[in-house]
Amino acid sequence: MPHEVRVRHIGDDDWDGITELEARAYTDLGLSEGRAALESRMRASPDTCFVLDIGPRLAGYLLALPYAEHQYPDLRRTEAEGGAAVSRNLHLHDVVIAEDLRHRGLARHLVGHLTETARSQGYERISLIAVGGSDTFWSARGFTAREGEAAPAGYGPGAVYMHRAVPDVALAGASPQTSHSRREVG
């Protein structure tokens, strides 16, 4: 039986699930930040941070916040109080899908929703740091790295800073105007 997939803004009751997903994804890489850092990143830009539900289950999350190009969060610190930086670049800091739900297009669905949100809010670029060998995943989604650029400090061996332009046209299947994006998965 298919279940509805819904993308929505993060609520107060989501943090235990987000923290658990983040720890499972990043502890073995030595990159887990903890709840205070994650919450601070969402508070810096709540309109660009989302969870993905499948039916009643929190199945994934995405945190993105404005950062100048080639700048990114320090994993050892929380975001400064006072809101997000002013930038035309939106930094995709974190996207995690529960292990048993990966390889079903759910991360692509979240990133598509973020891309539509970025476009509708006037961002020109999206950047990210690919960790744990994920640069091939991001390359397949249009992100590129600059030749010879130094690996981002504090993000582990092989980390790669990548970026892409926000498309001028809407992508099918995402609807930032309602703060929700829906589809069904079986």
**Residue 75 is which amino acid?**
L
Which of 13-17, 56-60, 107-111, 152-156 is predicted least confidently?
152-156
Q: How many CA atoms lie within 13 A of 80 on its CB side?
A: 6
Each residue of 38-91: pLDDT tens digit?
999 999 999 999 999 999 999 999 999 999 999 999 998 999 865 556 789 999
For residues 167-186, give the mean pLDDT: 48
- pLDDT score of 12 more than 80: yes
Place of tokens 């509708």: 120
Distance between alpha carbon 164 and the CA centroid of its chain, in Å?
14
